[in-house]
Structure 1
Amino acid sequence: MMLLLLLTFLHTSEIFAMDNLNVAFRWKVVDFEFPNDTAREDAIAKGIFKPENNLPLGLEVYGDRMFISVPRWKSGVAASLNYIMLTDSKESPKLRPYPSWEYHDLTNLDESGMVSSDKIVSPFRIRADSCGRLWVMDTGIADILEGSKVLSKPKLLIFDLNTDTLIRSYQIPEDQVKKDVSFFANIAVEENGCEDTYAYLADLGHPGLVVYSFKKNKSWLVKHHYFHISPTAGEMTVAGITFQWADGIFGLALSKPDNSGYSTLYFHPMHSFHEFTVSTKLLRDEAMATDPKNFHEYKVLGSRGPKAQSGASFLHQKTNVLFYALVNLNAVACWRTTNPNYTMESQGRVFMSNETMVFPNDIKVDANDTLWVMSDKLPVFMYEKLNLNEYNFRILNSTVADAIRGTACDSKMVMNPNIVKNITKNITRIISTTVTGGSSAVNAGITWLVLSFAALPLLSTRQI
């Protein structure tokens, strides 16, 4: 019944939620802005660029640029970190390598088969801060679906976005990485001033959280049971493809600082239905963060419900709204962190589509309060073959205000008295049918009752 409730809740909300996300950019296949046509043809001839093997995955916005990662899932990825201009009028703009083509030249290897520490191998998600820095978590692994080639130890690259120069390259220490298992696919950045900044790096393969201090240029590994998958959440079906993954801690989102200057980290494994929290006061202190006695400092927030595995997430600190991708449902949902309850009823459906939102893979909100979502059909790319004659990759956007309008995350809701009246009628009918209908009527009645209240936060007459 819980699955029926979730699906009905999401689909019923379509009547009331605005679905205000619009497609800003879309690609059938991505291309790059090569120096000239000859350079592009040469790259194709040498196998450096295989258009069909390039899948955009992560995004970030800073100023008038959108940064897009293209991980090296397969051979032939020309550049794994790129940008486009937000002012570009083309629906399928070519990607420009960031910061330059030179950083993506992986042909010069040392004696151990590794590239130099300044090269960009294969980042998944990236984060820009208010200090004008781009934080890039590089997995260091190329051709992931074709046997994998380790070209670099996992490292954190930090760029100055004002000069497009590399500020720092920090290799994750070997004792914080499990060889052939660790996989760093997400990053969150907490600023306590530009110097005293912390990065939180999620290792989904060997579930753990690496905390990096920019000021100390040092990191430490944090472990917890809540970073691991839920055994019942490992299977998903997307675009008709059923598959099993085991991705541990994945979604990372930071609240605005409290009066003491610490944030709450909201996190979840991809293969789990639950959301968890922990204070960065604990994480920033290496001794406290690694002390098993602090196990109970981590909290279970609640459940999103069945089939609600979640990938990337982002917390808009101005509205206290947490956005998250429901990868198994081709949807984006939200929850207001000021709500004391994290339940299916308290969450809002922002957008859902089996056409334009197939596998939402990254979510960000920029400095102008615009919500951005990347969808990329990743399971189709991995297990079947993309149709290059149709649009496969999309970036959708909306203002935060429009995205949450009419959802449970909207703080300016007024109840429609007709809805309250209808719910009252449903309750009355449930009571009367339950008396005469036996257990089946009881189950039906409960479903009606729960659905009525599940939809309650979504049903409003207008904005105040």
Structure 2
Amino acid sequence: MTFKKSAAILTSALLSTSVYANEPQQVAQVKGTQITGISVSHDGEIFISAPNWRDGVKFAVAEVNTETNEVTPYPDNKYNRCVADSLVKDDCFLAVQSVIAHNKKLYVLDTRNPKFKTVEDAPRVFVINLQTNHVESVLTLSKEAYHADSYINDLRIDDKTQRIYMTDSNHPGLVVYNLKTNDSYRVLNEHKTTTAEVETLDIAGTPFENVIHTDGIALDRVNDTLYFHTLSGYSLYAINTKDINNTSSQKTADAVWEVAQTGAPDGMIYADNGNLFLANLEKRTIDYLTPAQELRTLVSGEKVNWADTFSIYNNDLYYTNSKIQDAGADVSQMHFEIFKVALPQ
């Protein structure tokens, strides 16, 4: 999120208001540090990230012990030492927005844009080996892949194409990093599908006037389909991964289709059974689009308060409540929860 002042399109007849019976269970909570990202590894390790949106952020990336509710900077204090004072150094995190655990590695997306002032140096992805807990590589974006006002927000790793797909929520567009060549580039730059559709959201009665462009992203690895969505908007788009290239911007744009009209989301994730989960920030729900293109509600209510990021582990959906609409300059007395809820069968 940024703080700044078809296949067939679903019709209203296809929308469903059915609610899944399971209640979310609180896994942990963090006091005084606003968290956005979450990812659960194949071994059940829970990693979270805290954005550099205000002074004195205690960590950028941490591992959560759910038994003790302890939060430990990860992979160590050294890599987390720069965030509190926004020190621009190559060997530590500056402004992390999200984390993804994938194939025994943790991918840490550093926007390098602390407090949304400007991109201090190239945005990058730190790759941490989860077996050794050491940073094994740093994937740095080329100058062609970002703008001075970019806020590279979320990412998905595609093993088939050996690429990483990322959203830019402050300067509309998608970013692609080629793991085979270490090249990176933008697609759909300032395109209507990556640009915010509205200027204001109503978060359960609270106006939210920050315009946020491409944010949510999800990858269907079976059908090689990448889904993306602006946060300030209601249109869910998709593109086949084979059609994402940097040789023809028009061909890439022509390959995009609108999938559905949904709520304005932040968190998004695609499940193995074909359900696409996405938040509805205004209604404080977590919804999912079924393979039959029915939009259903998984959970709603007070335990959903700006559902920011999703992760799936052991048939549960994990999510963070970042409470962006309620968080001001001082969050020292606020609690930010991690919940899990059983997936629908």
Asked whether the two chains share a fold, i.e. TM above 0.5, the reply is yes
Judging changes above 3 Å, is the alpha-carbon distance between structure 1 residues 295 and 89 closer, same or farther for their aligned structure 2 residues?
closer
Shift of 1:281: 0.6
Q: Could you tell me which residue of structure 1 aligns to residue 324 of structure 2?
A: 378
Shift of 1:58: 0.7
Is the contact made by 2:49 and 2:61 (CA closer than 8 Å) also made in structure 1? yes
Amino acid at match of 2:322: D
Shift of 1:222: 0.5
Shift of 1:271: 1.3
Q: Could you tell me which residue of structure 1 aligns to residue 8 of structure 2?
A: none
Q: Could you tell me which residue of structure 2 aligns to residue 334 of structure 1?
A: 288
Shift of 1:117: 2.1
Q: Deviations over 1:293-329 (max 9, x none)?
A: 343211011212xxx2111200012x11111111111
Q: Deviations over 1:357-404 (max 9, x none)?
A: 1111111112x2321011121111137x6583xx7311111332xxx2
Pick from 162, 168, 184: which aligns with 1:219? 184
Q: More strand by proportion, 1 or 2? A: 2
Q: Could you tell me which residue of structure 2 aligns to residue 281 of structure 1?
A: 242
Mapped to 2, the partners of 1:175 and 1:382 lie a distance apart of: 34
Shift of 1:106: 2.2
Judging changes above 3 Å, is the alpha-carbon distance between structure 1 residues 225 and 126 closer, same or farther for their aligned structure 2 residues?
same
Q: Could you tell me which residue of structure 2 aligns to residue 168 of structure 1?
A: 137
Greater RCO (Cα-Cα under 8 Å, separation 6 or more):
2
Mapped to 1, the partners of 2:331 and 2:95 lie a distance apart of: 21
Is the contact made by 2:22 and 2:341 (CA closer than 8 Å) also made in structure 1? no
1:323 aligns with 2:302: no
Judging changes above 3 Å, is the alpha-carbon distance between structure 1 residues 267 and 143 closer, same or farther for their aligned structure 2 residues?
closer
Q: Could you tell me which residue of structure 2 aligns to residue 347 of structure 1?
A: 295
% same residue = 19
Mapped to 2, the partners of 1:18 and 1:125 lie a distance apart of: 29
Mapped to 2, the partners of 1:149 and 1:79 lie a distance apart of: 20
Q: Could you tell me which residue of structure 2 aligns to residue 80 of structure 1?
A: 60
Amino acid at match of 1:25: A
Mapped to 1, the partners of 2:87 and 2:240 lie a distance apart of: 37
Q: More helix by proportion, 1 or 2? A: 1
Pick from 108, 116, 128: which aligns with 1:159? 128
Q: Could you tell me which residue of structure 2 aligns to residue 136 of structure 1?
A: 108
Pick from 244, 250, 261: which aligns with 1:292? 250
Q: Could you tell me which residue of structure 2 aligns to residue 361 of structure 1?
A: 308
SS in 2 for 1:153: coil
Judging changes above 3 Å, is the alpha-carbon distance between structure 1 residues 239 and 294 closer, same or farther for their aligned structure 2 residues?
closer
Is the contact made by 1:311 and 1:361 (CA closer than 8 Å) also made in structure 2? yes
Q: Could you tell me which residue of structure 2 aligns to residue 89 of structure 1?
A: 67
Structure 2 unaligned regions, length at least 5:
1-11
Q: Deviations over 1:151-174 (max 9, x none)?
A: 543112111111111122122122
1:122 aligns with 2:95: yes
TM-score (norm 2): 0.88
Q: Could you tell me which residue of structure 2 aligns to residue 313 of structure 1?
A: 268
Shift of 1:185: 1.1
Q: Could you tell me which residue of structure 1 aligns to residue 45 of structure 2?
A: 65
Amino acid at match of 1:56: I
SS in 1 for 2:144: helix
TM-score (norm 1): 0.66
Is the contact made by 2:106 and 2:127 (CA closer than 8 Å) also made in structure 1? yes
Structure 1 runs, 4 residues or longer, greater than 4 Å off: none
SS in 1 for 2:55: coil
Q: Could you tell me which residue of structure 2 aligns to residue 460 of structure 1?
A: none
Q: Deviations over 1:21-65 (max 9, x none)?
A: 2222234x1xxxxxxxxxxxxxxxxxxxxxx4x201110011231
Which protein is bigger by CA-based radius of gyration?
1
Q: Deviations over 1:70-123 (max 9, x none)?
A: 1111111121111113xx323xx221111100112229x9xxx96332311121
Amino acid at match of 2:67: S
Is the contact made by 1:140 and 1:152 (CA closer than 8 Å) also made in structure 2? yes
Number of equivalences? 330
Mapped to 1, the partners of 2:163 and 2:111 lie a distance apart of: 19
SS in 2 for 1:286: coil
Shift of 1:178: 1.6
1:188 aligns with 2:156: yes
Query: What is the RMSD of the two structures over their aligned residues, measured on CA atoms?
Result: 2.5
Is the contact made by 2:156 and 2:218 (CA closer than 8 Å) also made in structure 1? yes
Shift of 1:149: 6.9
Is the contact made by 2:141 and 2:177 (CA closer than 8 Å) also made in structure 1? no
